[in-house]
Amino acid sequence: MRISDVDRDRAAAVLHTAVGEGRISWPEHEERLAGVLAARTGAELIPWLADLPDASSAVMPTSRSAPPLQVTLGKVRRRPDPAAGPQRVDVMLGAAVLDLRDLPRGGLIEVVANSTLGKVEVLLSPGTRLLDMGTAWLGKRSTVEHRRRWVTTVRADAPVVRLSGHSVLGHVRVTIG
């Protein structure tokens, strides 16, 4: 998704904070800032900010916020629109399946998956870059990859799924393939 000047300013603020805290040097700040200001999509911002704290809020382009998906005592399947912004799923005693297999190249989608005594399943295409930063407390988080005869490499312009959230006595599972 294309980014705006506001998105570039947020990313530049992350770099300014990082140099002020001594995380990067001034020459590195200058190089990264040039890359951030030249970026046209959210995916082009990722390499410049990936190793810095507070980067996730700067990488996500400003967009409308999708309403949270809440599932209780049932099962729901969704194919969310990546342009709708961060996706939040809250499951209690039920199941939710998010089908993200047709993400556009270079796209970034953030998913917050919370499971309490339930299951959240995220379906991804081979070659999608997954960043799982979630936690489990007496629950489970897993990634299952269906093996093929050929090896799938992750391209530089591969879509990125940033997964976070909590699993409490539940399960968050990512299925690739």
pLDDT tens, residue by residue, 22-43: 989 999 999 999 999 998 888 7
121 bridge partner residues:
97, 173
Model confidence at 116, pLDDT cuts 50, 70, 90, reads very high
d(CA 113, CA 167) in angstroms, rounded, equals: 8
Residues 100, 35, single domain; the answer is: no
Q: Which residue has the higher pLDDT, 114 or 157?
A: 114
3: tokens are: 């980014």
Q: Which range marks the domain in which residue 47 is found?
A: 5-59
**Comparing C-alpha atoms, which of 66, 70, 157, 161 is closest to residue 108?**
161
pTM listed for this prediction: 0.62
Domain boundary among 59, 78, 95: 59
**Is 64 contained in some domain?**
no
Query: Contact at 8 Å (CB) between 110 and 162?
Result: yes
Residues 15, 98, single domain; the answer is: no
pLDDT score for 147: 67
d(CA 126, CA 158) in angstroms, rounded, equals: 10
Residues 43, 81, single domain; the answer is: no
Tell me which H or E stretch contains 32: helix 26-38
Residues 74, 44, single domain; the answer is: no
**Comparing C-alpha atoms, which of 83, 35, 34, 39 is closest to residue 62?**
83
Model confidence at 155, pLDDT cuts 50, 70, 90, reads confident
Residues 159, 88, single domain; the answer is: yes
Amino acid code (one letter) for 85 = G
pLDDT score for 46: 82
Residues 73, 55, single domain; the answer is: no
55-93: pLDDT as tens digits: 665 565 555 566 888 999 999 999 988 777 889 999 999
Residues 94, 140, single domain; the answer is: yes
Model confidence at 105, pLDDT cuts 50, 70, 90, reads confident
pLDDT score for 149: 55
**Is 27 contained in some domain?**
yes
State how many domains the chain has.
2
Strand order in the sheet with 119-124: 75-78, 95-100, 119-124, 171-176, 140-145
d(CA 76, CA 54) in angstroms, rounded, equals: 32
Does residue 169 surpass a pLDDT of 90? yes
Residues 46, 79, single domain; the answer is: no
